Amino acid sequence: MALHSASQGQKYLKIRLGYFFVQIHVLTKTHKSSYSVFTTGNLMSLRICILETDILRPELVDQYQGYGRMFEQLFAQQPLTAEFSVYNVVEGHYPPDSEKFDAYLVTGSKADSFGSDPWIQTLKEYLLERYKRGDKLLGICFGHQLLALLLGGKAERAEQGWGVGVHSYRLAGKPEWMSPALDELQLLISHQDQVTRLPEKATLLASSDFCPIGAYHIEDQVLCFQGHPEFVHDYSRALLDLRQQHLGEQVYQQGMDSLKHSQQGSAVAEWMMRFVAQGKESKA
């Protein structure tokens, strides 16, 4: 990996991935709630809008910055190239109508998807309009639940209580875009709400006894996961420590013990990118 200076004075990272290079331009952030990172390479580039639905706790900001940044780092490891724009919708930031994206990703949040906060209502209206226009939508945790609610399903506080740490799911289907293929899926989780009824047109992708609706897709337009592919073990461990008293000792310890297992967030990220790319390829 090397840091270079571009002709216009910008900085960029040049990273070798397999047999080609990916160049990441590091742009000056105009404000803390909206910024872009661009990657270019030998493959067709995707444009993904990340709708960030949370502000990290102060203890975590310096190291992790935000869920938008965590997703950028995750997607940068994948074989498909992409450019990202991040907008913090909690603070009321959305892309201008003139901006066109291949997909819109709704991140996780400490808020309830069924909450009445004004920013949640605004986000629901925005996503419903995007859905009606035929745009591709991706949802993680809060986003997974919010899209289910918006499209006719149900999400609520789960009687199972908190799910934390590394969680295993059975895979109910394996569409072509789910490459690399897995027999089961392990993801880091942190949630006390769940989708309890799928939208009418949704197809179940992953489930477990604890979380019967762990992932779903709606045709080739919507793809959602309850787990967090963008989480890393250290972040999950830090969250557990911060929430130890709230979780209770038993749940906390179970979560900490589970962190000895690996997780497959990178595979899910590749699935998401291939899900988005399949439509773009057909139009190219």
Provide the annotated active-site residues: 141, 228, 230
* Distance between CA atoms of residues 158 and 195, nearest Å: 8
Give the helix/strand (H/E) hosting 241.
helix 233-242
User: What's the distance, CA 226 to chain centroid?
Assistant: 9
What lies within 8 Å, CB to CB, of 21 at 6+ separation is: 14, 15, 41
CB atoms within 10 A of CB 210: 15
Compute the Cα dihedral for 241, 243, 245, 251 and give only its sign. negative
Q: Do 229 and 187 meet the contact criterion of CB atoms below 8 Å apart?
A: yes
Count the helices and strands in the chain (H runs, E runs). Answer: 8, 15
Q: Single out the residue of 24, 192, 200 nearest to residue 112, CA to CA.
A: 192
Give the helix/strand (H/E) hosting 21.
strand 20-26
Give the helix/strand (H/E) hosting 35.
strand 34-40
CB atoms within 10 A of CB 280: 16
> Can you tell me which residue has the tokens 């910008």?
10
**What token pair was written down for 222?**
């919507």
* Distance between CA atoms of residues 111 and 117, nearest Å: 9
